Structure 1
Amino acid sequence: MDAIPTLDFAAFRTGDAAARGAVAQQLGAAFERYGFIQLTGHGVPQPALDGAFAAAEAFFDRPEAFKRLVQDRRNNRGYIPMFDSALPGQKPGGHEAFSVGHLTRPADPALRDLPFHAETPWPEMPGFRARIEGCYAAMYALSQDILAAVALHLGVAEDFFVEASRESYSNMRVVHYPPAEAVAEVTDIGVRAHADEGLITLLIQDMNGGLFVQGPAGDWLPVVPNRDAMVINVGKLLRRWTNGRYQAALHKVVNTSGRERYSIPLFVHPSYHTRIDPASLVGEAPAGPEFEPIVAGERVYANFKARRVSWQEAEKA
């Protein structure tokens, strides 16, 4: 049976050139076939992950009124209430979340005014911010190693993505899914099928399962929880930049565990003004209209605005 592969990333982090090259080739092959992989040996300290999950449980256990004190709907920062992701004609996602902006903000005032670079409103909870930001920093450092491996696989300089991400608008979400039966009167999905917008996403999930990826044959493959692994997937920008060589697979969440589920995705993006052009990464002309050059932030911001309008329309309906 087909399955999302697992790869030990330790050799890329600490090995010699040959070992690093071998890991990069395996990573790239997984991205070409599935757009998803699970990485062990990722080097993110377990206490950082455990601390973030503990912070998540403590926050979502607070009353709704407390959580809404740190809600910034305009910028999609802070608390995101249950069922907030409704789109016209679709059921909402059965989850609530806390959205965190990138740890550093750009110097350009025009960029700082965009929702992508908005400041995060933090709750008055001792240790919450420190735990979440500590996890963010560790996961983001790993993301740069993963992108270095991607660059090696694609035959460009290992710092290719570093140069493209000097003022990254990456962001993290801390997500809580009640058991499916608890939200069954409203929805039957935790998160509807979608592909992520950015370069790559790093995800830590608890042991309750519920994440499914659409495989090459169109069937839904479970991403079986592994305490020692981190889930990595390709986003739309990297698919476009590779001229379709990498897959940005659809994935969804259905929490049928009967327990509370928590996950923490880090969405890794380049700088707002980065030009996404297959010629610059894989040395090829665009394979079709969907691969024509774009400016990363402009495209993602246009999609963001369209979704916000749809949510507002859904609320009025």
Structure 2
Amino acid sequence: MTDIASVSLDQPLESIAGELGASFSEFGFAIVKDHGIPQDLIDRAEEMSKAFFALPTETKLKYKIEGAGGARGYTPFGTEKAKDAKVHDLKEFWHVGRSLPADHELAEYMAPNVWPTEVDGFEETFEALYAAFEQAGLRVLEAIAIHLGLERTFFEKTVEDGNSVMRLLRYPPLEGEEAEGAIRAAAHGDINTITLLLGAEEAGLELLTKQGEWLAVNPPPGALAVNIGDMLDRLTNGKLRSTTHRVVNPHGEAAYRARYSMPFFLHFRPDFIIEPLESCSESVTGNTPQPAISSHDFLLQRLREINLA
């Protein structure tokens, strides 16, 4: 495979599973169209995200939750950094997580959401978008299960009530000659199972190929860029790759304006034990299978590495 796959989720999954799996094996990424997330919901969410980030800094900081590792609410500019990076990423963001009743068996792992009162309809819009992202993600996982030769519903229970997080991202505009080509988010791999990203049509997202070259990821407007996270890489012993990627500032006029995007980090349940699938115990990558670890412990380990815990 020489190009990142671009598939439509409104096709029978058996017809796209092979192409999707091959792209995830080679690049760790695929482009997914016709994903079922309504465009009017996406448009409304984008408007509300911009409205929130346009609020005064002191207003946004009301929603920064100390000691929560950024799991909910607002995380200001200059907080998160990639693993082993020497500088912080040039971004601010807002997190929406799963809403669970207080007596739910997994409630201890997921803090309640907070909602800004300054943007009308914010809660309703992003609760709806969270649910739509989750449905699209389940369909991608179903295709992955088919590709791996598993029962097509294999992943349903592994992610049921999982600690998935939706992030509203703003990369502020940069100034000066150094703005063009600047690194807005340093090279990193995602922690979770799979990531579904809206807004990647704005130039800047790049993945690192097996050959060590940076390759631009350019989905058409409204499509999702979907990538494998470290948890699924570990489960498949590297058969599906969690690829290093970054966000760079483009050249030209776009270098001097803010960049917005909305990734959905789909997670396994906190109590799911990640250990290599039997069918992937001798992966083509030659990786040594990693020891079993719970999804929650793996998440905490990685959050500490990126300065969020």
CA distance in 1, matches of 2:10, 2:239: 25
Asked if the contact 1:106–1:112 (Cα under 8 Å) also holds between the matched residues in 2, the reply is yes
Identity of aligned residues (%): 30
Tell me whether 1:244 sits opposite 2:238 in the alignment. Answer: yes
Residue 284 of structure 1 is matched in structure 2 by 281
Shift of 1:118: 1.0
Tell me whether 1:24 sits opposite 2:17 in the alignment. Answer: yes
- Scaled by the length of structure 1, the TM-score of the pair is 0.86
Shift of 1:164: 1.1
Tell me whether 297-306 or 264-273 shows the greater mean CA deviation: 297-306
Q: How many residues align?
A: 298
**Coordinate RMSD, CA, aligned:** 2.5
Shift of 1:166: 2.2
CA distance in 2, matches of 1:66, 1:85: 20
Tell me whether 1:49 sits opposite 2:42 in the alignment. Answer: yes
Residue 190 of structure 1 is matched in structure 2 by 184
Asked if the contact 2:33–2:224 (Cα under 8 Å) also holds between the matched residues in 1, the reply is yes
Q: Match of 1:295, as an amino acid?
A: S
Tell me whether 1:6 sits opposite 2:6 in the alignment. Answer: yes
Residue 17 of structure 1 is matched in structure 2 by none
CA distance in 2, matches of 1:9, 1:86: 33
Q: Name the structure where helix makes up a greater proportion of residues.
A: 1
Residue 177 of structure 1 is matched in structure 2 by 171
CA distance in 1, matches of 2:304, 2:45: 29
Residue 264 of structure 1 is matched in structure 2 by 262
Question: Which among 80, 84, 96 is matched to residue 85 of structure 1?
Answer: 80
Against the structure 1 CA distance between its residues 105 and 255, is the aligned structure 2 distance closer, same or farther, given a 3 Å change threshold? farther
CA distance in 2, matches of 1:3, 1:47: 30
CA distance in 2, matches of 1:284, 1:107: 38
Shift of 1:42: 1.2
- Scaled by the length of structure 2, the TM-score of the pair is 0.88
CA distance in 2, matches of 1:140, 1:183: 40
Structure 2 portions without partners, runs of 5+: none
Asked if the contact 2:195–2:229 (Cα under 8 Å) also holds between the matched residues in 1, the reply is yes
Q: Deviations over 1:109-161 (max 9, x none)?
A: 6x4334xx111211102111111221111111110011011111111111111
Q: Secondary structure at the match of 1:213?
A: strand
Q: Match of 2:8, as an amino acid?
A: D
Q: Match of 1:251, as an amino acid?
A: H
Question: Which among 54, 63, 70 is matched to residue 63 of structure 2?
Answer: 70
Q: Deviations over 1:211-238 (max 9, x none)?
A: 1111221111111241131110000111
CA distance in 1, matches of 2:298, 2:204: 30
Shift of 1:167: 2.5
Residue 15 of structure 1 is matched in structure 2 by none
Question: Which among 112, 115, 127 is matched to residue 107 of structure 2?
Answer: 112
CA distance in 2, matches of 1:82, 1:183: 21
CA distance in 2, matches of 1:268, 1:183: 37
Asked if the contact 1:191–1:254 (Cα under 8 Å) also holds between the matched residues in 2, the reply is yes
Asked if the contact 1:180–1:254 (Cα under 8 Å) also holds between the matched residues in 2, the reply is no
Question: Which among 94, 99, 104 is matched to residue 98 of structure 1?
Answer: 94
4+ aligned runs moved over 3 Å, structure 1? 86-89, 103-109, 182-185, 285-290, 305-308
Against the structure 1 CA distance between its residues 106 and 304, is the aligned structure 2 distance closer, same or farther, given a 3 Å change threshold? farther
